[in-house]
Amino acid sequence: MASHLTTNQAIIFCECPRKYYLRHIKGASPSYDQAHVLDMAKARAFLALFKNERRFLSEVGDQSELRECYARCLDMAIATSISQSAPHIMGADPKEMEAHIERELEVFLLGRIERAKRHMGTFGITGEELAISVTYPPEDVGRRVVDFKHRISGRISLIHAEPDFARPIQISTAMPPMKGICKGEEMAAKMNALLLEELVGRPVVASSIHYLKISETRSIAIGESNKEEVKSFVSQVTGKCDFEKSSGACAFCEVRGECGQ
């Protein structure tokens, strides 16, 4: 077993240790159903959009060009998403997937267009200046970082600049539990915050989880005590010998055919 832990593995272990064993120790191949694939495609479309938005927006010289700009952004995001999700699409109809992603991103893109319009009207900026003012730096999207001190690694899906700190956003396809954030997602958020803290060299006071299915973001405060908490959790997972099964999510598990329990 590897001596490090990724943020995705933390979520899976807390969801079901048996699933973690099958996926990351035994190496069982997941069998994704249509819902899994659509969530995966949506997440990848968002990341592709964030990563390329600045490039497209830098070519805009007038407000009338914004809709065409974001239409091109959407086309690129859809194409990238379907290409990256291709190994899991199986019998799904690519046209149906395109329509699904377009519906999911439509409201968000209208908000981005209105935001760009406000910046153009208020500050009189266009092109590269406009793009820099309203988009995320491409290099801060999908950044993979490794912290050897805590032996954890992960992908910070998006780094969002707040007035006094940078906040990592963990893009998640999970629905939030009825009574709040589950342990695995909370631990992954803390891990991401510590990874970003190592990266930027200053304290990160909060991390966020964005739930794609309901477009809701929840923040988690990060304190000094979380360093030892994460370190202890990593040691617990990587040193574990028995992997009991958790009940409650078997019907949605992508390795249920390999489980045998």
pTM of the model: 0.81
Looking at residue 177, its pLDDT comes to 64
**What does the pLDDT look like over 177-187, one tens digit per residue?**
666 677 888 88
Name 80's Cβ contacts closer than 8 Å, sequence gap at least 6.
44, 45, 48
Looking at residue 132, its pLDDT comes to 93
Asked whether residue 69 carries a pLDDT value surpassing 90, the answer given is: yes
The answer to whether residues 219 and 180 touch, using CB atoms and an 8 Å cutoff, is: no
Asked whether residue 176 carries a pLDDT value surpassing 70, the answer given is: no
Asked whether residue 53 carries a pLDDT value surpassing 90, the answer given is: yes
Asked whether residue 1 carries a pLDDT value surpassing 60, the answer given is: no
Looking at residue 175, its pLDDT comes to 65
Residue 158 to residue 176: CA distance in whole angstroms = 19
Asked whether residue 140 carries a pLDDT value surpassing 60, the answer given is: yes
Looking at residue 25, its pLDDT comes to 86
By the 10 Å C-beta count (0-12 exposed, 13-18 middle, 19+ buried), 49 is classed as buried
**What does the pLDDT look like over 224-246, one tens digit per residue?**
899 999 999 998 888 887 888 88
Asked whether residue 122 carries a pLDDT value surpassing 90, the answer given is: yes
- The count of residues in the chain is 261
The answer to whether residues 169 and 182 touch, using CB atoms and an 8 Å cutoff, is: no
Q: State percent of the chain over pLDDT 90.
A: 25
Looking at residue 255, its pLDDT comes to 80
Residue 6 to residue 12: CA distance in whole angstroms = 10
Residue 220 to residue 82: CA distance in whole angstroms = 32
